[in-house]
Amino acid sequence: MSKTKEQRVVIVTGGGIGIGRATCAQFSAQGDHVVITDVLEDEGRALAEELTAAGGDCVFLPLNVRDTAQAEAVVAEVVARHGKVDVVVANAGIAHRVPLAELSDEKWDETFDIDLKGMLRVIRPAVPAMGAGSSIICLSSIMGVAYGWDAHVHYSSAKAGVVGLVRGLAVELARSGIRVNGVAPGYIRTAQLLSEKNSLGPKAAEIASPYIPMGRLGEPEEIAKVIGFLASADASYLTGQVLTVDGGLLVGRY
C-alpha cells in the first residue's frame, strides 16, 4: 500500500487575480493547502471560497507586501497553524506606465518596495519554517531579463533585481535543501496587460502576437503550470534559474 503524500503548505502573494490566481488554483487542484494573500481582499476571499467549494483546502489572509510587520504576522500565523511552509510563490507586483520625465523618487521607491522588497518581506520570515525539499519561486518578467520597455524603467529595474534575488538566495539556501527559482513571463493575458493606462490595452493580442513566434498571448494557467513544476520534486536539481516563458518572443527577436 502506497504512503499517503504529505500535504504541502503553499503561500502565494498577489494571489487574488491574474497569474497569482491561476497559481493558487493549480496548487489547490494538486491537493496542497493554499494560503492566498493579497491586498485585494474581495478578490482573495472570493477565490478562497471558490476553491474551497471545489474541494480545495484554501484560506485567504490579507497582506500588503509593503508592510513588514504584516508580512511577518501572516507567515507566523501560517507556521502556528501548520508548523511549516513548503512553498512560497512571491508574485505580488505592480507595473505602472510612467515616462522618465515624470518618474519621481516616490514612484520608483513604491515599485521597488512592492516588486522586489515585498518578496524579501515574505521570504525572510518563511525560510526558518522551510525544510529540505522546500521551494521558493519569484516572479520576474521578460522586462527584467532581456527586454526593454519604455515608460517602465522602474518596473524593468525592479524585475531585474528579482533575478539577482533568486541567484543570491539559491546559493545561500542550497545547503538547507531549499531551492529558489524564478519565472519571467512574456505577454500574458492578465488585467495588467489589458490595461490601456499601464500596458498594451484591450488590443494586446493584436499588438503583440505578430512579434511572438507562437503567434498568441500566454495564459495565466500556462505560467502557473511552470510554477507548479518548479515547486515539484521533478525540479529537484534545479535552483538559481529564471525560466523565460514567452512563446518564443525573446529568442525570436534576439
Domain CATH code at residue 146: 3.40.50.720
**Local structure of 94: helix, strand or coil:** coil
Q: What is the pLDDT of residues 10-19, one digit of tens each?
A: 999 999 999 9
Highest average pLDDT, of 109-118, 200-209, 210-219, comes from 109-118
Whether 3 maps to a domain, the answer reads no
Are the C-beta atoms of residues 32 and 10 closer than 8 Å to each other? Answer: yes
DSSP state of 174: G
| Domain carrying residue 61 | 9-253
Instruction: Answer whether residue 42 shows pLDDT above 60.
Output: yes
Distances 144 to 163, 176, 198 between C-alpha atoms, Å: 7, 28, 17
**Per-residue b/e over 118-155, b at no fewer than 16 CB within 10 Å?**
bbbbbbebbbebbeeebbbbbbbbbbbbebebeebbbb
Which residues carry out catalysis? 155
Q: What is the pLDDT of residue 196?
A: 64
Q: What is the pLDDT of residues 164-192, one digit of tens each?
A: 999 999 999 999 999 999 999 999 988 77
Whether 1 maps to a domain, the answer reads no
Q: What is the pLDDT of residues 135-166, one digit of tens each?
A: 999 999 999 999 888 899 999 999 999 999 99
Q: How many separate domains does the chain show?
A: 1
Q: What is the pLDDT of residue 149?
A: 83
Whether 101 maps to a domain, the answer reads yes
How far is the C-alpha of 239 from the C-alpha of 232, rounded, in Å?
12
Q: What is the pLDDT of residue 4?
A: 54
Q: What is the pLDDT of residues 48-79, one digit of tens each?
A: 999 999 999 999 999 999 999 999 999 999 99
C-alpha atoms less than 13 angstroms from C-alpha of 250 in its C-beta half-sphere: 15
